[in-house]
Amino acid sequence: MAERTTELTGGCQCGAVRFRAVSLGRASICLCRMCQKAFGAFFGPLVTAFGVTWTRGAPSHFQSSNAVSRGFCSACGTPLTYEYDGGIELAIGAFDDPRLAAPTIQVNPAEKLPFTDRLHTLPIRRPGEEPHADGFLEAVVSYQHPDEDTTTWPPRAGRKS
């Protein structure tokens, strides 16, 4: 039986920018304020990537400091990269399979938001507990790019990619 290899591919939410990486290094959760702002989140999940190629489009960049440029999709705003003289890190959530880059370390703890230590203790809303929310979610139709490479995007009307 042939060994199956895992593809290290991903891209933005709208599909305008896609990437492929040859291999991954350390995956981290960055707690600094710049990553919080760049991701619009409590932290920035990033993984060092090697052999990155852009297979569709390319990110736009914002110079967030004298040492770091951050890549993002100019069409949908998805954060994609953290680039510096030492290399490139990719946003873990932008991978088609983010499980391939499970974080192994938290970095820059000085600006960590104190409530993040207890996020896992928050209640979880389960289906059936809030009928209004369930109805809303059932009516949502996603226009997000699928978690796989496609020949074209967006798909032509009436055709699958």
Structure tokens at 114: 């104190």
Spatial contact of 82 and 45, defined as CB atoms under 8 Å apart: no
Structure tokens at 70: 């951050």
Structure tokens at 62: 């914002």
pLDDT, residue 154, reads 76
H helices, E strands: number in the chain: 2, 10
Single out the residue of 7, 11, 2, 4 nearest to residue 90, CA to CA: 11
- Map out the domains of the chain with their CATH numbers: 9-139 (2.170.150.70)
Please compute Rg for the chain using Cα positions. 18
Ordered per-residue pLDDT tens for the chain, 161 residues: 344 357 899 999 999 999 999 999 999 999 999 999 999 999 999 999 999 999 999 999 999 999 999 999 999 999 999 999 999 999 999 999 999 999 999 999 999 999 999 999 999 989 888 888 888 988 888 888 989 988 887 766 554 54
pLDDT, residue 137, reads 86
pLDDT, residue 2, reads 41
pLDDT, residue 1, reads 38
Note the pTM of the prediction, 2 decimals.
0.87
CA distance 70 to 3: 35
pLDDT, residue 140, reads 87
pLDDT, residue 133, reads 86
CA distance 151 to 98: 22
pLDDT, residue 156, reads 64
pLDDT, residue 161, reads 47
